[in-house]
């Protein structure tokens, strides 16, 4: 190869190398810049999204602080006795939230998981109200809901008895009758839970209320001594000898301290001095013989199982706002607008209980009685915690999604 040809070849080779060199430089440079820009953008958006979620979580926690209970319609005091004022107690809304959060269970609290309404086989609500839980305030609310939501309210059933349990025949009669109610009906009665499925009937939507066990006993004690009850007795049994005035004037403090049979709450007792319906758990346990012993661990465990599996909502009028919110969201066909209607007619609803006598009860008397209601309190707190979980599930879904 000649010198000129070799020089020409080298120049061409250098030109080709330069061409590739200058073609490759801009492309990697733009690629790196693009990747860097995308990384910065993703980091920014992730930061903004995380910050937004964190802010909403903080809002949720602030809403549940004890100082904010009034904004939620709560009393700020959800426990009695020596535990009063401890807002981290699990039997409060805030305490339940903190417990679920600290144990890692908060993520599993969902409205779908806690809603038994979806398992009902018929669009009929059974409200088997225990005595002395302020359920009478629900009657005027039901009437307002009937007009608003096109539902039917039924207050009288086929079985009228003051016995604590239904016989099997009475259970079948009541189950068959309730199953034939028109869709959109609410049947409200003082009766124990009925196992509709065991008699071959469709499963209804069960709801109910509970109340502090000692408060129930105090309310019942004075309700039986009210002038209203005295007038009813005179009308029903004209000419029959009445109890002495001393009985009507007796206080709950005196009754407990004197160890009157009426105020002795005997553990595991089946027969009672008077039929005072002190077994709140009995309304949820059912009509089995095992449900009758007072303050029985077995009976309250059965009652808890029924509530967990069979009831859409078990509320408490002590937490009216929470109860109405949960009823609205978990049983919407019947309770849509419940909070609005209650607020609109709250004065007339509350006036139904304006004449109730409820004097002061000494702390030591409460403690004496409380010792005999250990399992009843366990059941009562179980129902409240379940109600709080249902409410928290709604709050979490509204604030974090």
DSSP string, 11-80: HHHHHHHHHHHHHHTHHHHHHHHHHHHHHHHHHHHHHHHHHHHHHHHHHHHHHTSGGGGGGGT--S----
Three-state SS at 180: coil
- Give the pLDDT of residue 22: 46
| Helix or strand holding residue 217 (H, E) | helix 213-223
Distance CA 386, CA 298 (A): 20
Both tokens of residue 238? 């004209």
Residue span of the structural domain in which 313 resides: 107-397
For the chain, how many structural domains are there in total? 1
**What does the longest C-alpha to C-alpha distance in the chain come to?**
146
Q: Is residue 72 part of a domain?
A: no
Distance CA 94, CA 61 (A): 9
- Give the pLDDT of residue 70: 27
Count of CB atoms within 10 A of residue 150's CB?
A: 9
- Give the pLDDT of residue 78: 36
- Give the pLDDT of residue 253: 97
* Catalytic pick among 190, 233, 337, 345: 190
Helix axes 26-63, 374-400, angle to 10 degrees: 140
Distance CA 280, CA 303 (A): 9
Both tokens of residue 268? 């595991």
- Compute the half-sphere exposure of residue 167: CA atoms within 13 Å on the CB side of its CA: 5
Q: In three state form, how does the secondary structure of 345-384 look?
A: HHHHHHHHHCCCCCCCCCHHHHHHHHCCCHHHHHHHHHHH
Question: Does the active-site annotation cover 190?
Answer: yes
Count of CB atoms within 10 A of residue 385's CB?
A: 18
- Give the pLDDT of residue 69: 29
- Give the pLDDT of residue 86: 45
- Give the pLDDT of residue 71: 26
Distances (CA, A) of 201 to 40, 176, 256, 309: 62, 7, 45, 17
Q: Is residue 173 part of a domain?
A: yes
Q: Is residue 169 part of a domain?
A: yes
Q: Is residue 73 part of a domain?
A: no
| One pLDDT digit (tens) per residue for the chain, 401 residues | 555 555 565 555 555 455 444 444 444 555 556 666 666 666 655 555 555 544 454 444 434 333 322 223 333 333 333 344 444 588 899 999 999 999 999 988 999 999 999 999 999 999 999 999 999 889 999 999 999 999 999 998 999 887 889 999 999 999 999 999 999 999 999 999 999 999 999 999 999 999 999 999 999 999 999 888 888 778 888 888 888 889 999 999 999 999 999 999 999 999 887 777 899 999 999 999 999 999 999 999 999 999 999 999 999 999 999 999 999 999 999 999 999 999 988 776 665 555 555 689 999 999 999 999 999 999 999 999 999 999 999 999 876 44
* Residue 221 · residue 256 · CB < 8 Å: no
* Residue 267 · residue 369 · CB < 8 Å: no
Q: Is residue 93 part of a domain?
A: no
Please state whether beta strands 124-128 and 205-210 pair in parallel, antiparallel, or not at all (unpaired): parallel
* Residue 325 · residue 339 · CB < 8 Å: yes
- Give the pLDDT of residue 64: 39
* Residue 192 · residue 281 · CB < 8 Å: no
Q: Is residue 225 part of a domain?
A: yes
Distance CA 332, CA 147 (A): 15
Q: Is residue 65 part of a domain?
A: no
Quickly tell me which residue has 């303050």 as its tokens: 295
Q: Is residue 271 part of a domain?
A: yes
Q: Which CATH number characterizes residue 302's domain?
A: 3.40.50.300
């Amino acid at each position: 190869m000649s010198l000129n040809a070799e020089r020409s070849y080298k120049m061409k080779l250098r030109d080709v190398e330069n061409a590739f060199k200058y073609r490759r430089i801009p492309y990697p440079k733009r690629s790196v810049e693009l990747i860097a820009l995308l990384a910065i953008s993703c980091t920014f958006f992730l930061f903004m999204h995380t910050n937004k979620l964190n802010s909403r979580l903080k809002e949720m926690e602030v809403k549940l602080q004890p100082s904010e209970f009034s904004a939620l319609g709560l009393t700020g005091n959800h426990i009695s006795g020596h535990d009063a004022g401890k807002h981290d107690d699990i039997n409060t809304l805030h305490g339940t939230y903190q417990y679920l959060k600290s144990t890692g269970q908060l993520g599993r609290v969902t409205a779908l998981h806690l809603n038994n309404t979806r398992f009902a086989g018929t669009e009929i609500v059974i409200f088997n109200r225990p005595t002395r839980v302020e359920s009478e305030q629900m009657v005027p609310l039901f009437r307002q809901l009937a007009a608003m939501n096109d539902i039917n309210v039924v207050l009288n059933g086929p079985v009228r008895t003051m016995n604590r349990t239904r016989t099997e025949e009475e259970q079948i009669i009541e189950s068959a009758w309730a199953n034939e109610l028109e869709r959109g009906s609410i049947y409200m009665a003082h009766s124990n839970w009925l196992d509709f499925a065991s008699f071959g009937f469709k499963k209804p939507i069960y709801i109910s209320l509970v109340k502090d066990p000692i408060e129930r006993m105090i309310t019942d004690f004075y309700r039986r001594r009210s002038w209203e009850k005295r007038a009813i007795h005179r009308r029903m049994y004209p000419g029959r000898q009445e109890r002495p005035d001393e009985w009507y004037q007796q206080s709950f403090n005196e009754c407990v301290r004197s160890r009157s049979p009426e105020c002795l709450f005997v553990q595991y007792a089946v027969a009672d001095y008077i039929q005072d319906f002190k077994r709140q758990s009995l309304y949820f346990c059912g009509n089995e013989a095992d449900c009758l012993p007072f303050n029985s661990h077995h009976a309250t465990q059965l009652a808890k199982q029924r509530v967990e599996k069979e009831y859409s909502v078990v509320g408490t009028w002590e937490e009216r706002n929470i109860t109405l919110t949960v009823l609205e969201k978990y049983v919407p066909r019947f309770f849509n607008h419940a909070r609005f209607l209650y607020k609109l007619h709250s004065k007339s609803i509350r006036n139904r209980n304006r004449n109730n006598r409820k004097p002061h009860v000494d702390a030591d008397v409460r403690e004496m009685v409380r010792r005999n209601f250990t399992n009843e309190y366990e059941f009562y707190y179980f129902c409240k915690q379940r109600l709080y979980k249902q409410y928290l599930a709604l709050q979490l879904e509204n604030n974090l999604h």
